[in-house]
Structure 1
Amino acid sequence: MAPVRGEDRQQLACLLPAAVLLPVALVFEGFGLTGSWALAAAAIPLGMAVAVLRYRLYDLDRVINRTVVWLLMTLLLIGGFVAIVAILRDLVMRGSTSNASLVATGMIAVAFEPVRRRVQRLVDHLLYGQRDDPYKVIVNLGDLHGKTTDPDAMLPLLTSAIAGSLRVPYVAVRVSTPDGLRLVAEHGRTGTQLEEFTMVARGETLGELLVATRGIGDRFSQRERRLLADVAQYFAAVTEATRLIRDLQESRERLINAREEERKRLRRDLHDGVGPALTGIGMQVRAARKAAAEPERVGRILEDMTADLQVCRSEVRQLLDHLHRPPELDRGLEAALRVQCQRFHSPSLTVDLHVAAHLDGLPAAIEVAAYRIVSEALTNVAKHSRAESCRIIVDADRALSIQVVDDGIGIVSRENGNVGVGLESMRERAAELGGECLVTPGDPRGTAVRVQLPIPLGRHVRKAGDSPL
């Protein structure tokens, strides 16, 4: 015998209390407790009613649907016929029952089908919800969406609303993630067949809506499938909106963290660079004052002060360069990159720049991020890689693509496993614009930095041939 599973177990579980109460009632009856059998007798039909109505035992919900419809129609026919005959006989036919019966029969024959459809819709609404009124289903979802302020609670509330509106036992939403589909919301319990409806927004598959059929072996009608497909698209829009809200919140947090980190960096640079230099200059001024009678010594002190002031000026200029848009970008990203590459070009390091597309018309944020990332990558090459050559390739289509590849000693990780501040800064700049920055070992040696910065829709770039530095 096959084991009982799923909804069959739930159906039979409804009858278990009645099965337990029946022998208990017989025992109590044997001890003279009269009336105990009535408790067991009532438990059996109650258990069967729960099994039929909630778990659709033997698919009797269809039988109940038709039985209720015809029972109501029978009552309406009998009541309507008697009422019409009485009214016609007393008010119109002057006591002629036979003529009144004929007219009443004709009126009932004409009104029978419209009344039956209305009764059927009423019973269907009680058993199947609002499946025959898709507009109302969508409107109810929109009202619920408008009243919900917590984006994380939106999908669970909508799944509950769909289960209640369509009288289905189970509704769930699975969202696409880099690791596969992940269940984010569900309502009810499943024991019947699940049907899947794809959630698509702006041409991207965001996940799927899972809906269980009402009974074992049931299938959704074509009209219900169209309704659930529309609901899946609504869920896709909600999922995308929820994702955008979450991304916006994370972007705000990143901006706040970046601002605080920038403040820390400025404080550290001023404290460690400009601060000691100014302190040293102050000491030199006091020394020069004491040595006023020694012109040669004062001259040497002034020369040292001049050198220190040059250092301070250089450090302050570097700090200012990080606080505003680099002036080199006024002539365009390509020209700015060429100027930056020329700064690092030396007899010991050859820097080649190849641009495969015209970079005019890019958003300012992308230009600044690309310039800063390339500058940081070149700084790392010059300071740490011991490379003899560095090749930079820039291309643009739907995204601005940057590759910085050197032939140095490769990536050297720190003892604590953390990445350097420069590498982390490049990744954060790319992430702020929805892109990515990957730092990997080069082939056959060296380091490769690959950056992708998405270009907003409507921004087009023109292809161009490679242009060496």
Structure 2
Amino acid sequence: MKKRLDGLFYLFSHGAWWYITVISVALFIYSETKAYDKFLKVCSSEECQDLFLLSAEEAQTLLSYGMSMSFYSGILVVLLLIQFLSFFSVGCLLYVYGMRDRICLYTSILLIATGTVMSISTPIISEAPHLESIFQVESFVGDLYLFFFFLFPDGRFRPKWLLYPAIIGLVGNIGIYFLPGSFIDPTTWPIPIRSGIWLSLHALAIYSQIHRYRHAQTKQLKRQMRWFAVSLSGFILSVLSLLTFSIFGENGLLKLFMWFVYYLALLFMPFSIGIAILEQRQRHLSVVFSRTIVYSFVTLMVMGVYVLIVGSLGFLLNDQNNIFISLLATGIVAIFFQPLRTKIQHSVNTLVYGDREDPYKILSSLTQRLELTMTNSSVLLTVVEEVAKALKLPFAAIDIEMEGQFERYATFGEEVQVRSEFPLTLNGERIGILLVGARSLQETMPPDKVYLLTDLLRQVTMAVQTVRILSELKRSRIKLVSFREEERRRLRRDLHDGLGASLASISLKMDTLVYQNDVDIVLKNRLIELQEDLRSAIAGIRQLVYNLRPPALDELGLIFALDELCRQYDGSSLKVSLEASEIDFPLHAAIEVAAYRIVQEAVTNAGKHSKGSTCKVTLGLEDSHVMIRIIDDGVGLPTNRKNGIGLHSMRERAVEVDGQFLIKNGHDKGLMIEARLPLWMEGD
């Protein structure tokens, strides 16, 4: 049922788009074909209902500058054409590239309808009764642009209270088209009130964009809103200027200039909206869209510049029909076309690509971040984050080849369906893969800068190779530590159960000989001496066994072994206490020894050097790690201290099992030692 409703809604939306598009073209063509003759007419100040028409005073002023009404009418018709084409072309491009996305579709309908309403003369349509009904539909849809501004670009009201002024504007539109003459119809209000509300709503729309800009989390979103806010501000200022001069001025030349400024300001708005919407909704299509926009924008700009040059030269030479003027204008446009195109291409690239317009900024930024990142665990996270943010990718990840298999080492963002893989090779050997959330990395940079991707991939490859070597060294070290602990376990068992037991048996047999009555006194003394030597050997073996691996770890476990260690200080001047979370699973042998020896060395140092009365040992679990804290209330460390053998030994024991070690003075007094050891090691 849901799929059927979605299908019907999809068909209805596309049907609405085609309806609006067809009537927009029809209305514009009808208005444009009659506009030239319409604008030639002069009206009195009291009867001018069309802002495009000149009053008698304005026409006289224009004629005094040597400009005819035909020149004014021709310029205005061309400006209307450029304005219509700008909105219509962006609307159609949005439909073509984002027809499967509802937001793109609705924005396309709004741009086409709004652009049409702003580029036709209402009195011309009013003279054709058969067009009035469809013009009402077109006008209502077009006037929804203000409601759209409050939602741009993510479809939400920010801040939320802007919902209420947006509704006020929507109610006003409903009053104009569905309840004309009622109290909610703004056309019935006094002009000052109507203008004030209109300005207030547009000012709040700008405030909405400023609020979004301040709270935007990415440079990409800030850049999009900055372009849109500039174009919207230019549109509002041009409207204000046009209204001001239409009310208080009677200068035809100034009015023509204000029309030119007004439509120039309108020219930027659809392009900024189109790029931002498609960037927000259809990331992989925005690049192709932007290239098409450059062609469209340059074409319209050239048309506008040509009209401006022809008009200016005609004004200066006091002739609007001279073929020389047209040829001269064509030559000037041809000269400045390529620099204009280059500048516009750069501006659009900056809007679409951001920092990617200058890819060496990415390489420089990535290099700086890598220089600041010193740990193996964070270097690749820095790489994928920098690559994703710089190229505006929703997802990036790096897989590294280790022992014949690829392992995911770093990820940024959430995985997307549209993605591509790029092998990272060194000396012909594939050592890793860079995965990105784009169909191709070539789409993420301007076409003339794609060759610099090689440098970017080389930087990533070197970072991956560094991590790969460090990981191999780490694995080798961990294996050596594991083998060492297992070998120590075996030696301790063999010495304790084998040699130790044999020596103890020999000692018992010697005791039997010593206490026999018929043994010569000299021989007895000799046996007693040998027995003492044997006891010393047994004690040495026991000490050797303890140094290899404390027996309490295997017999009692880590927590009980630490508790026994702390109890050895009962009755001394230093009171040692233990707080430990229960660990209900066996730890790796190397982890147990490292934890035990670090606590042992720390407590020993506290007893010898701290001059404190208490020492607290805390053992707990935290994020797949064993956290050890030893805090005393002694004198702490001197500022000019040098690490002794004990501190060096503790740090080394933590590092060799891939742990972390920290030592610092307490907040008030004393010393705090922290060790963070993993719960398991490679090969567990």
In terms of fraction of residues, the more strand-rich structure is 1
In terms of fraction of residues, the more helix-rich structure is 2
The TM-score range, normalised by the shorter chain, is 0.3 to 0.5
TM-score by length of 1: 0.43
